[in-house]
Structure 1
Amino acid sequence: MHCFFAELEPSTPVTEQNLADRVRYIMRSKICDDAELERLRREAIPSSNESAMARDAAPHATDQHPHVEAAMDLPVVVDSNDDEIVSHELEQMRSILDEAILETRSTPLENRPRLPRIPLSKRNRAVVRALNPMLVTYLEASRDLCETDSILFGAAVAVCRFIGAKIPMAGHATTQSSAIPAWRKRIEDRIAKARALIGRLTSFRSGNNRPRIVRTVRMAFAGTNISLSKPDITQKLTERIDDLKQKIAAWGKRIRRFTERSRRFNQNRVFQSDQKRLYKSLERPKVCGAGQGLDQADIIAFWRGLWSESVNHSEGPWMEVVASQGASVTPMDPITITPEDMAEAIRRATNWKSPGLDGLQHYWLKGFIVCHAVLARQFQEALEPEVAPEPLHYWDHSFGS
């Protein structure tokens, strides 16, 4: 390959390794599609004589660089050091994609799993690139933004399953945030053990000499000079019980102190970000009376008296002022959303920013580039009032700017 390139471009000095690296980079980064590569190959090798010359020169290059010949072939053959996707993996990926999209379409929005943040490795990028051509069929049949969002979310789930990323179940984050802290659970375990020990010691002091109770009492006084046969054992039991009760009181006070401090910390944090939400959380809920409710006939009569009688409104002079001011306003030019506009908006977005209600991060919109044209068309259609989808707010978090 290097000899053939030297004949075509004698003025360009390049080493064999540099040429092989550039070819491999073009094949991996998908700068040119298959049709463009085939056209360039036909232009570079117009005759069979030159093809034979290239084949004769190829063994000399591949003696030192065995991967160069594979890089020249259009179907990329994966070796042990490559991160591309082989044919049998493509079939497996297509099966996973079909299953994931089918599950996503039948899953309500609030029950979707939370997509994890996957590492930005070459292998993961290759998986996302390989999934792009498979999405074309689904996206062409998409009717609106909601269906497109469902397809992209299913594709993201398929990528996570293929690379082995763990997908948390729906509601996992809420469960974690409301779980008991580890420090509190440790203290509560100590309190439970101390209370159980107090019960055993009290039972032994009352005359219960069962082997299990006696064994627990001996373990409680292990390492001391106290013997159960001594006459002052009752006093020692009482002192031990009082000591445990004081520890329980101290541990309980520690839990209350930590809980109060955590509550104040959370309130201060909410106050800095959203004061309205803090004040709303501090409001006491209204106590509803348990008395008899209003009669339905009275309710109907009340609202009928307000809405059934026609009222003649007289427009004030300010209406003419507003109409005259609005007449001088220049209408806004029609908005045309192109795939380039969509790609630029997605490019400026943060990869792993917290998603909206649909749960789809910007990383997936950047990776699935085949969706840009479809999204541009559907957003353009959404500008028309008669076709605007109802849940359009799913997407405002991504392209509000």
Structure 2
Amino acid sequence: MVEQPANVDAAVNTPVVVDSNDDGTVAQELELEHMRSTLEEAIVETRSTPLENRPRLPRIALSKRNRAVVRALNPMLVTYLEASRDLCETDSILFGAALAVCRIIGAKVSTAGRATGHSSAIPAWRRRIEERIAKARALIGRLICFRSGNNRPRIVRTVRMAFAGTNVSLSQPDITQKLTERIDALKQRIAAWGKRIRQYTERSTRFNQNRLFQSDQKRLYESLERPMVSGTGPAPNRADTVAFWRGLWSEPVNHNEGPWTEVVARQCTGITPMDPVIITPDDVAEAVRRAPNWKSPGLDGLHHYWLKGFMVCHAVLARQFQEALNQKSLPSLFTTGITHLVPKDQDATDPSKYHPITC
């Protein structure tokens, strides 16, 4: 009983020597070296790439493997972040680390750049189904023309292709009945495809409403009471739109201050100034913790998920944000955004009839 604690202490303090010939240890070291080289390449590449030409980072699955890769790269960033001079350089390092994670786990990264890659608002699956419906309707029109006696070569060729692989001949006596059956079958297919589009659309609407209910209930109720209007008319002139919003945002305005401002200034002379704001790493961690993982990013393309995963950046961000606060200056990276114009009503030709939403 008396000797047991001493034996336990001796066992705990005994250094463990790992055999370098162990296959597991060697494989792990090689994997870490591969991660380190991938991180180095991604950071160097990001530093030499303008913001608008950065690739679009995908949303990665929150799996154990992906989290393990993020945790493995987290301590490797210390060397780069300690040498960071400002917020722009820190942002570049973090984006390079996120890009390295995507490459290590094999996630698909868009290399076309976010400025040139304009994705369509219509999903790919819906475009495919709509193309099938359009082709089926065109085929129905030609079959009806042939049934009514139109024997032009193009019509005949299309009808023969429609019955290819069957025992139906265009010269047989019951060809009219076969044409009617074929037309009815195509109409049933079109109805089934249309129902599939409606089901997908309803499911997508329910999913978006549930997600909006979790993040912003007020906005959800407003959208239910007053559905969003999408402009169906012609789009406004590009030059007129730029001139209108530039007049609101870019041109300086001289305001005429009324006499009430002097009264307010005299009343505020006795107010005790607030204490200086000190930004700590805990403040950064708390702000990042409450932010959604995959909310639409700004010009840098960096999601909140990466700020949560790379925790070693919190102390650097706190110090650099404190410097920016003391100097009363922020880089344009944090004050510039991409503005999307959402139409207010059906009149989409007037630039003033839009809601500006900036990411």
Please, what TM-score do these two structures have when normalized by structure 1?
Answer: 0.55
Amino acid at match of 1:117: I
Residue number among 39, 52, 70 corresponding to 1:128 in the alignment = 70
Q: C-alpha displacement at 1:320, in angstroms?
A: 4.3
Determine if the alignment matches structure 1 residue 186 to structure 2 residue 129: yes
Confirm or deny that 1:164 pairs with 2:106: yes
Mapped pair 1:175 → 2:119: yes
> Which residue does the alignment assign to 2:301?
359
After TM superposition, give the deviation of residue 85 of structure 1 in Å. Answer: 3.7
1:153 Cα offset (Å) = 1.2
Larger Rg belongs to: 1
Q: Within 5 Å, which residues of 2 pair with 1:99-178?
A: 99-110=41-52, 111-121=54-64, 124-168=66-110, 175=119, 177-178=121-122
Question: Structure 2 vs 1, CA of residues 116 and 12 (structure 1 numbering), >3 Å: closer, same or farther?
Answer: same
- Offset, 1:151: 0.5
Aligned counterparts of 2:32 and 2:81: Cα–Cα separation in 1:
19
Distance 2:274 2:220 in 1: 38
Equivalent position of 2:323 in the other structure: 381
1:323 & 1:214 partners in 2: Cα distance? 85
Aligned to 2:94, what secondary structure does the other structure show? helix
Given that 1:114 and 1:359 are in contact with CA atoms closer than 8 Å, whether structure 2 keeps it comes out as yes
Q: Which has the larger displacement, 372-381 or 359-368?
A: 359-368
SS class of match (2:326): coil
Deviation of the 1:96 alpha carbon: 1.1
Q: How do 1:257-336 residues align onto structure 2 when only pairs under 5 Å count?
A: 258=198, 272=220, 281=230, 316=259, 318-336=260-278
Q: Distance in 2 between matches of 1:154 and 1:217?
A: 54
Q: Return the offset for 1:115.
A: 3.5
CA–CA distance in 1 between the matches of 2:91 and 2:41? 16
Equivalent in the alignment of 1:65 = none
Shift of the 187–125 alpha-carbon distance from structure 1 to 2, 3 Å rule, reads closer
Once the two structures are TM-superposed, the CA of residue 128 in structure 1 deviates from its matched residue by 3.2
Q: What is the alpha-carbon distance in structure 2 between the residues aligned to residue 359 and residue 90 of structure 1?
A: 26
- CA contact 1:132–1:368 (8 Å) conserved in 2: yes
Mapped pair 1:9 → 2:16? no
1:147-171 Cα deviation digits (max 9, x unpaired): 2111011112112212333335556
| Amino-acid identity (%) | 40
- The answer to whether the 8 A contact 1:352-1:363 is kept is yes
The 3 A distance-change label for structure 1 pair 229 and 208 is: farther
CA distance in 2 between partners of 1:161 and 1:189 (Å): 36
Stretches of structure 1 that go unaligned for 5 or more consecutive residues are 1-5, 14-18, 24-43, 45-53, 55-68, 289-305, 396-401
Please say if residues 80 and 93 of structure 2, whose CA atoms lie closer than 8 Å, have aligned partners that are also in contact. Answer: yes
Contact kept in structure 1, 2:295 and 2:304, CA below 8 Å: no
- Alignment RMSD (CA, Å): 5.3
Note the alpha carbon deviations across 1:189-228, whole angstroms, 9 max, x for none: 25514533653674695557999678547659858xx983
Q: Deviations over 1:244-292 (max 9, x none)?
A: 89x399759958x959x87xx69x969736669966745967877xxxx
SS in structure 1 opposite 2:108?
coil
Distance 1:186 1:356, change over 3 A: closer
What's the CA shift for 1:321? Answer: 2.6
SS of equivalent residue, structure 2 residue 60: coil
CA distance in 2, matches of 1:89, 1:236: 68
- In structure 2, the residue matched to 1:199 is 142
Tell me: CA distance 1:7–1:355, structure 2 relative to 1, closer, same or farther (3 Å): farther
Call closer, same or farther: CA 1:320–1:192 in 2, change over 3 Å.
closer
Deviates most, 364-373 or 330-339: 364-373
Structure 2 gap ranges (5+): 213-218, 238-252, 338-359
**Using the alignment, how far apart are the partners of 1:76 and 1:148 within structure 2?**
38
Q: More helix per residue: 1 or 2?
A: 1
> CA distance change for structure 1 residues 216 and 129 in 2, over 3 Å: closer, same or farther?
closer
Equivalent residue letter for 1:195: A
**1:322, distance to aligned residue in structure 2 (A):** 1.2
